[in-house]
Amino acid sequence: MVVSLQRISLTRYFLIDLRSLEEYNAINIEFHVTFFEAERIYTFNLHQIMMAEEIPDSEIDELERKSNKRRILEKDKSQLSTVETVFDDKTRLILFGLINKGVIDSVEGAISTGKEANVYFCKGKRPTVCKIYRVDSPAFKKMKIYVEGDHRFKKFRQSRHGFIKEWAKKEFKNLKKLRKVGVPVPEPYDLERNVLLMEFLNRDDTPLPKLKDAEVVNPAKLYKEIMDSVKKMVREAKLIHGDLSPFNILFDEVEQRYYIIDVSQSVLDSHPQAELFLIRDLMNLNDFFAGFGLEIIEIKDLYRWITGMPGDEGKILLAKNYKIE
């Protein structure tokens, strides 16, 4: 059996970790390490790795030196570059385990990168992406405001690893809950620690664009449809997205269909800042659709229609300048 783990730096500490995993000793792993100059393929038998046989230190040193030198991966060179900082030891082993179980065949290039997580395309039986949440996320402090009052996070306030694990679990559960009530979101497949596997939203194997970059044929119809989804989120799923904007909506230009993404920060309607987050989401959407020259609905009327409750004028004013510190 040969499986490939692509574009993940093969370093000595990774090999040392693998030596302790006896269940993998019969598998040949084909590591693809991509450099700017050329692509070289290194194939090692894991039995040899664990026995530390037939792999000269000089070869490992050379591979490690080049992988450290060329950590920047490119995809559509003019548009996307990222530094691979999400692949800590535990994450590498999780990916390896998913490959060994046949859940995915390989991890390919980055689809998107961010302060909270990176998203990668995965080959396998079905089109899949893996979202890897950064344990070293620079947005760690800002993320905490979204878990106020959530008992699951109380004991993880000071633990980054524990916090990120629960954060990933939160998105997995939110996606399931939203799909259940009919909100268009990617289907979640599996979750291992800080690695979330979900549906690859694409058109002809190309990732769907964000709504902000997409061609919309009927903006008035789309405005109504997205607001209907927001209403479903609030009334049926009891969730507020918390960061809804054209940046967090993918759009299929052929079918003129949308998908709401990035729901890890979504909060329950009982959250102390839920009303403020909802108003801010509505403002983001109104600002975008106003750019099409549409006659948009005022926030207070929109809020009442979505929640069935009158909007707080003070909260509406506050949301205009609200920033998470």
Catalytic residue numbers?
Answer: 243, 262
DSSP 162-179: HHHHHHHHHHHHHHHHHH
Start-to-end CA span in the chain (Å): 50
Sorted by sequence, the CB contacts under 8 Å of residue 155 that are 6+ apart come out as 162
Strand, helix or coil at 64?
helix
DSSP secondary structure string, 13-33?
Answer: HHHHHHHT-GGGTT-EEEEEE
Q: Per the structure block, which two tokens stand in for 154? A: 């109380």
Rounded to an integer, what distance in angstroms lies between the CA atom of residue 210 and that of residue 7? 25
Kind and range of the H or E run holding 132: strand 128-133
Placement of tokens 């058109």 in the chain: 203
Q: What is the DSSP letter of 253?
A: T
In whole angstroms, how far apart are CA 235 and each of 54, 228, 285, 307, 309?
62, 10, 19, 7, 11
The H or E element containing residue 203 is strand 202-203
Q: How far apart are CA 43 and CA 28, in angstroms?
A: 7
Pair 269, 253: CB distance under 8 Å: no
Residue type at 162 in one-letter notation:
G
